[in-house]
Amino acid sequence: MKKFISLIALVGVFAACEPENLQTAFNVPDATATLNVTVISAAPDFDEKDATVTAVWSTGETTTGLSSSIVGNPSISAGSVKVTASWNGASESVTVSFPQIYAGMDLVLTATVFLPYNAGGYTLVAKAGTPVKTTEVYGLQAAAHKHGYSKAQEVEFEGVTYKVWMLENASEFLLEDTYTYATYDGFAVKEKLKVLNNDFKAGAEDIYAAATKNAGIKKGYKSYEFVVSAWSLYNVINPEITTVTPYTIEAQPLLGSNNPTIPEVATFSLYSITYGKGKVEMAHPDHASHYEKGHGHYTHDGHYLHGDNNNAGGGIITAE
């Protein structure tokens, strides 16, 4: 399904269209995917730093540790990563999917792994339900006010098509610009613990206390510098994806026990925010014959032409 949005941007550069043999090119950086893992256990002596974490990516790489990354060459195909955490004989796995990540784009993923906890002849396990994702998209300011090109254009970012107001670089020069975007680290509580079976109230509360011990999302900001080809339209696509994950605490009998499995003794939910950012550009419709992706001239003093978007992104929409 195509998603149609308006993003905000600042005015680019206008120059007369003159035939040029564009000989200067820049390299587009490889795509990156970063995985941040949180490991949780109700065991009294548990320390997340002592857990062993292994991530097996559908692309073939295996990474370890609470934070790790893979790099595309130059892009990363859509797929998933299976995250396994182990500590003191307990082990559990979760799988996180991700879209295609194109060259020059970055995506930050999060995964939360709950390790089993023994309580009164049962093992209490927090099982993740189906996540619910909501996407908000930001971009450069002012284009939504139609200060850039006069018509919105369709662009593709990480497999999704957007209709976006674009800035112009209607010149023979390479243009350099900066975009400030928000970063998010951690997770937070969406719905508090609801105990459905009082026989397991104490154990459920232990799991919930461990799950929320380090709850809190830390927001920061980073700058993204990018280069735009000559004779092009451009913008930045900066999605922020809020993922709400419901959890059900299940009571499973210990090995050798005749006790029945009790599927739902308590519930709660957590949420996290993942984010990505990347430049999108296309041939300027009025100068398409002169456009070549990644090409253009430096200015007469040997530098990039500078855009005026040295600011935080604007424009917001909730994905359908």
- Write the pLDDT tens digit of every residue in 189-239: 999 999 999 989 999 999 999 999 989 999 999 999 999 999 999 998 888
Q: Is residue 55 part of a domain?
A: no
Domain assignment present for residue 304? The answer is yes
**End-to-end Cα separation, the chain, in angstroms:** 9
- Banded model confidence at residue 315, pLDDT cuts 50, 70, 90: low
Is 103 part of a structural domain of the chain?
A: no
**Alpha-carbon gap, residue 144 to 63, rounded angstroms:** 41
In a domain, 86, yes or no: no
Q: What is the pLDDT of residue 320?
A: 33
**Residue 87 in domain:** no
Number of domain units in the chain: 1
**What pLDDT score does 256 carry?**
63
- Per the domain annotation, does 7 fall within a domain? no
Least confident of 131-140, 205-214, 287-296, 310-319: 310-319
Residue 82's pLDDT is 97
Which tens digits make up the pLDDT trace of 132-151?
999 888 888 755 556 678 88
pLDDT at 142: 58
Quick check: is 124 in a domain? yes
Copy the structure tokens of residue 120: 């009164």
Q: Is residue 213 part of a domain?
A: yes
- The domain in which residue 247 lies consists of 13-29+117-312
Q: Give the closest residue to 249 by CA, choosing from 210, 208, 209.
A: 208
User: Mean of the pLDDT values across residues 81-104?
Assistant: 91
Q: What are phi and psi of 317, to 5 degrees?
A: -150, 145
The band of 84, judged by pLDDT with boundaries at 50, 70 and 90, is very high
